[in-house]
Amino acid sequence: MRLRNILIVIFIVSVLGLLYVQYQYLRVGLNLAAVQFDEKMAEVVIDTEEGLHHENKLSFLLGKAITRDDSYFSLSLDSVQDASSHFLDDYLKEVMVRHGVNSAYGYVLRNSDTTTYLRPPGYSGGYEKGLSYPVRLQGYLPELTGENLILELQFENLNAYFISQLRGLILPGILFLLVIVGVTVWVMRGFLKQRSLLSVTNEFINNLTHELKTPVFSIGLATRLLTEKKDVDKQEVAEIIKVQLEKLKGHIERVLELASLEEKGEVLGKSVFDLGELIMEVAGEFEGVASLEGLAFTVHNEALGVEVNGMRGHLKNAVDTLLDNARKYSKDPRKVTLGCTVKGGKAFISVADNGVGIAEEEQKKIFNKYYRVSSGDLHNVKGFGLGLHYVKHIAGLHRGRVSLHSAPGKGSEFTLQIPVR
């Protein structure tokens, strides 16, 4: 498995593990909250029983409601019961708040049979299915009524209540987890990018060393010939040295030129020129190479008289690079087409070949610095992986872009798009 996949698996497993641990913490938290709640309610039950044990205003009123005795008040029985349920509700609320219980509750005051005497004001049901804490009333009220009286305190869906209490912890927990995930993904992407850049850079250095070795070797050989053998044709050897030195200079210049261009990062030496003329010039130079190599070369130039404000030299180099690639990567019978059309304030300079083509997954990468497609017989073709990166850079400096249409085995068409005046 590749390092990237291993890292992704480790990361996903860690996040899932963290989520599981969080879930277990939540469960433990809920259990503890339930235990704590039970303890508080045990105290509420004791206090409530004590509060209703003796005769006082509340127990007196409750007594009248239970025994349905309206003789003491100048009120209807309904009003007495209504007032009782309100007073009892207020009293219970006060006791619970005192013990730190503030979740929604209901109550029922009943005897040990099925007779219900009182419910909370505006009672609409729903509390019976949850938890219930019965208060067995002693003293004044059972004695008055001659019955076993039970005041049941009822709660529905306590888990939702506990979770709402823990919200202050759950939300930051989720937020921090998301931040950790985001930062990790970001760091991982950077790390993987660096790694691939490193391997691509190493490949470039290998290529460059290889390319530099050949002329250096030839020059070494020629120099030895000159110093060791007397009867060599000096002119011929000097010619070899000259050609190889030119090659060496060319390699060094290409690397340095791109580096300095990237460093400056802005369009220097801009001028207005005729794009059509530039295309003619490039085409003229390429025609020589094409006929030498037996390559069919066609030009469609619609840009004569069209002006561009830019860096003529660099733009020419960019088109040259595209043509050179088309030449390098074309297949028999070799065909290369250079076209230039103008539409909607933009010039489209296209270079098409009938070459090896480029697979979909490689199409974005080939514009990266030093990148070369490393499959098939492409290794036979020399290069540093700098050309297309340079073309893209130049397009960018002209506020334009490069696009590519290609399929393996079917050839490629690169289009350089730049604004015209």
Q: Which residues bind to ligand ADP, rule: CB under 6 A?
A: 325-326, 329, 353, 355-358, 366, 371-373, 378, 383-389, 412
The residue number whose beta carbon is nearest to ligand ADP equals 383
Nearer to ligand ADP among residue 331 and residue 421 (C-beta): 331
Minimum distance of ligand ADP from residue 190's CB (angstroms): 24
Minimum distance of ligand ADP from residue 353's CB (angstroms): 5
Minimum distance of ligand ADP from residue 404's CB (angstroms): 9
Nearer to ligand ADP among residue 81 and residue 412 (C-beta): 412
Nearer to ligand ADP among residue 276 and residue 411 (C-beta): 411
Q: Which of 116, 89, 85, 87 is nearest to 105 (CA)?
A: 89
Nearer to ligand ADP among residue 300 and residue 379 (C-beta): 379
Minimum distance of ligand ADP from residue 358's CB (angstroms): 5
Nearer to ligand ADP among residue 130 and residue 408 (C-beta): 408
Which amino acid, 91? Y
Helix/strand/coil (H/E/C) assignment for every residue in the chain: CCHHHHHHHHHHHHHHHHHHHHHHHHHHHHHHHHHHHHHHHHHHHHHHHHHCCCCCHHHHHHHHHHCCCCCCCCCCHHHHHHHHHHHHHHHHHHHHHHCCCCCCCEEEEEECCCCEEECCCCCCCCCCCCEEEEEECCCHHHHHHCCCEEEEEEECCHHHHHHHHHHHHHHHHHHHHHHHHHHHHHHHHHHHHHHHHHHHHHHHHHHHHHHHHHHHHHHHHHHHHHHHCCCCCHHHHHHHHHHHHHHHHHHHHHHHHHHHHHHHCCCCCCEEEEHHHHHHHHHHHHHHHHHHHCCEEEEEECCCCCEEEECHHHHHHHHHHHHHHHHHHCCCCCEEEEEEEEECCEEEEEEEECCCCCCHHHCCHHHCCCCCCCCHHHHHCCCCCCHHHHHHHHHHHCCCEEEEEEECCCEEEEEEEEECC
Nearer to ligand ADP among residue 105 and residue 348 (C-beta): 348
Minimum distance of ligand ADP from residue 286's CB (angstroms): 14
Minimum distance of ligand ADP from residue 371's CB (angstroms): 6
Length of the chain: 421
Nearer to ligand ADP among residue 70 and residue 211 (C-beta): 211
- Structure tokens that stand for 206 in this block: 């290998």
Nearer to ligand ADP among residue 242 and residue 382 (C-beta): 382
Minimum distance of ligand ADP from residue 338's CB (angstroms): 12
Nearer to ligand ADP among residue 132 and residue 337 (C-beta): 337
Minimum distance of ligand ADP from residue 200's CB (angstroms): 11
Minimum distance of ligand ADP from residue 354's CB (angstroms): 10
